[in-house]
Structure 1
Amino acid sequence: MKAFLLAAGLGTRLRPLTDSVPKCLVRVGGHPLLELWLDTFRAAGVDEVLVNLHHMPEQVRSHLAAHRGKPQVRTSYEPTLLGSAGTLLAGRRFIGSDDVFFAVNADNLTDFDLRLLLAALEAAPSAQAAIAVFHAPRPEACGILEVQGGLVTSFEEKPAAPRSDLANAGMYAFRRSVLDVVPHGGPVDIGTHLLPRLVGRSVAVPVGDAFLIDIGTPEALARAQAEWPLRGIA
């Protein structure tokens, strides 16, 4: 099983912290987000991880140099950001002949079990994607889905007038066939460019009681640092 850890973002909303530390190396509970994700992948049965890099890549490579055991980790430097969907497309060779792979945003802090995405995809053989979802307090700031019977019937990125509060959590299981749907030419993102093309061909998987924080702002990071140790995980 393979996974993409999407870690190339600049982390601009976390400045000045991310002026000196790439966002995937920000620590919560004494551990970098990168290491927490590797633990999550290991628990989900992932053997190989591709981490895409752009901002301060040498810091990430230096950190990974000490990594031993599973999952095996490789990095891919993007001198110009490809966008999250562009990273998947560029990683076609990494995916190889595997029918299903994970992709997750590295700035998520969660104890969600990725195997639930696999189970949902296996239960819906005609679906090309399983998307983790949550109820957002500010849906206008998220990618918003409408769902009927578990099937995604609409998707809109950061809508001015949201039609639901069910939001994309930035964790996916994809079939390899989605690579044929990703548009070419310029940076392309999963939310903006890929998921709208998968309406009717994606299933939604609620995160339920799982812990989930997008560590995109100093306020979110402070909340994560206060609440994560209480989960008894760090």
Structure 2
Amino acid sequence: MKAALLIAGLGTRLRPLTDSIPKCLLPINGVPLLAIWFDKLLAAGVTEVLINTHWLAGQVVDFIAHSTPEGLKVRVFYEPTLLGSAGTLAANRRFFSEGPFFIIYGDNLSDVDLADLYAAHLEQRPLLTLGTFEAEFPERCGIAEIDEQGVVQGFVEKPEKPLSNHAAAGIYVAEPEIFDYFPEPEASTVIDLGFDVIPKLVGQMRNYSINQVIDIGTPENYRKANGGLF
């Protein structure tokens, strides 16, 4: 079982904290966020994970070398220029050719049970099982319209007038065939899952509801994540 853990963001909203430490290594109640995700992935049965790096990449590589749990193999993909969430996946397409795989935005903190998410995906095998949560500010998120059968029938990234509060959690399980819906990459183009790929999968995705998700990328949310909720 494989996963993509996307962690290469600059963390600009958390400066000055992220001037000297990458966002993925910020501690949550004393534990680096990346370590929390490593433990979750390993508990779910993941054996190989691809991680993209950019800002302060050397610190991430050092952490991986000394703190990766036994049983988990990590492949590091350095991006001199950020490619976007879908761009990272497209550049590593061969890594994900063998079956369903996780896609996780590693700057989120969540109580999600990854093993249960994976099992839910295997029941129906849609192109993508879209983890969602109920957003307080849906206009800031990718918003899904979900029918009574749990099929995602609409998706808009950061809509001006959201039609629901079911927000994409950045925690998904995808089939390798998802790459058939990726735009052709161009040297000067950043490819984003929310804008460029997920809207094309409407009708071929199923919802998976997640109770709690915190994007730690703002000071307010980082303080909330350290408040003992998880």
TM class, shorter-chain normalised? over 0.9
What does residue 128 of structure 1 align with?
Answer: 127
Q: What are the Cα deviations for residues 81-128 of structure 1, in whole angstroms up to 9, with x where unaligned?
A: 1110111111112224x1110010111111211123222222223x10
Q: What is the aligned-residue identity percentage?
A: 47
1 CA distance for matches of 2:223 and 2:175? Answer: 36
**Gaps spanning 5+ residues in structure 1: where?**
none
What does residue 74 of structure 1 align with?
Answer: 75
CA positional deviation for 1:70 = 1.9
What does residue 152 of structure 2 align with?
Answer: 152
Q: What are the Cα deviations for residues 122-143 of structure 1, in whole angstroms up to 9, with x where unaligned?
A: 2223x10001101111000010
Report the secondary structure of 1:226's partner residue. coil
2 CA distance for matches of 1:189 and 1:115? Answer: 26
Q: Give runs of ≥4 in structure 1 deviating > 4 Å.
A: none
8 Å Cα contact 2:54/2:80 also seen in 1: yes
8 Å Cα contact 2:100/2:176 also seen in 1: yes
8 Å Cα contact 1:107/1:215 also seen in 2: yes
1 CA distance for matches of 2:115 and 2:195? Answer: 25
What does residue 164 of structure 2 align with?
Answer: 164
2 CA distance for matches of 1:116 and 1:150? Answer: 16
Report the secondary structure of 2:109's partner residue. strand
- Amino acid in the other structure paired with 2:80: P
2 CA distance for matches of 1:147 and 1:139? Answer: 15
- Amino acid in the other structure paired with 1:202: M
**Gaps spanning 5+ residues in structure 2: where?**
none
Counterpart of 1:191 (choices 189, 194, 201) is 194
TM-score between the two structures when normalised by the length of structure 2: 0.94
Q: What are the Cα deviations for residues 176-213 of structure 1, in whole angstroms up to 9, with x where unaligned?
A: 000121112221111111110111110010013xx421
- Give me the CA root mean square deviation: 1.1
2 CA distance for matches of 1:109 and 1:130? Answer: 19
1 CA distance for matches of 2:210 and 2:121? Answer: 15
CA positional deviation for 1:68 = 4.5
8 Å Cα contact 1:116/1:205 also seen in 2: no
Report the secondary structure of 2:5's partner residue. strand
Report the secondary structure of 1:140's partner residue. helix
2 CA distance for matches of 1:164 and 1:8? Answer: 29
